Structure 1
């Protein structure tokens, strides 16, 4: 399954590698056609300071444009086949030695969930080509300089969404962004986080009957008032892989 208007082409291994800075530079070049101020940005320098300096009060809008221009998500077909990628894992960065104390990565929590610091999720798209409406991203693969972001940090109850096995790797919720853009989505209620949520809700669609209880439960936790399909879709997605689904389900 591909995106409408998306292109697929063959690339050599060297041509496939796409760093977060590469993706940002491609976005700067594309967006500068409509707004020349993007042409003055440098992917290797502090993005927040540059945006404030170049765009002033419009910096927040510029951030949203860059997020939509660079975000990479899994495919809708992936959602229909395997909506929760790693249901046994939750996010708990405190278990890594770098956060202080002993190395406890992977040690089960009190409910038996694998304690992860996002490492499991970050590695998931390794080897997956990108399907895109931008020929410069087609068949590329994310490498360094990317961060796996969660559209929901907190639930309406105040609980951390990624500490639930059902939600931590729920396909609509996870998006890969260039690392220099990712921190803009960390603030609860920010426009950047709101855009990730809009893109997540574009996944709302019918799923096979056996998966309905899990998908409905996930959405009810994220959007208790009821979820509706959004028209704001990711422009770039990881190619659906039957092998990936079979391996994860094994």
Structure 2
């Protein structure tokens, strides 16, 4: 499918969970996403245990993709303590991995970070009590600050936020209530209110809800691959999203 003169198409998916046995199993899927879109967005948990072997397999599986790829890591990508190596391997393969940074593709600004847990609204965990609790909350605050710093750098009229953890409770609805606080944080929504975007993409919640909205009405899409496979079994498990392409002044 060729480029459209009037719109930019994004294919978004997360929670691919590449394992040592994934070699050869994802090339067709990524080729479909590449054919359908102008940009491929990857929303974390790209590997299962965050190993170099898994990252190299993923990089090889991405070989058929002919459009720009922008990614953030997820909690699984940190499991082995090798997130820097996973990032380096993906960057060597041409993937733009964002961790509190921003980039511009096809005139659209993309701000990305992993995000973190902590809960939503009045149920958000506060930095009070034991030092371990304060460290947990500090991590959530730092990830929100990363997102805000990335958004603040953007000067494009169209903007997208890329996360792994959810910034709202709406897209994790369907998950067991007991684990809601571990699926995202309202602290991630706060920068989105100060720096409005056109859309937010995240993963992590495999049994959540595909779409919700921030307080100020911005669409938030849960693009966890297991969720998309279950909700839309007849189409490839990535989310297509279009933004109008800015037209030059005549």
* TM-score, length-scaled by structure 2: 0.28
Greater share of residues in helix? 1
- Compare CA radii of gyration and give the structure with the larger one: 1
* TM-score, length-scaled by structure 1: 0.28
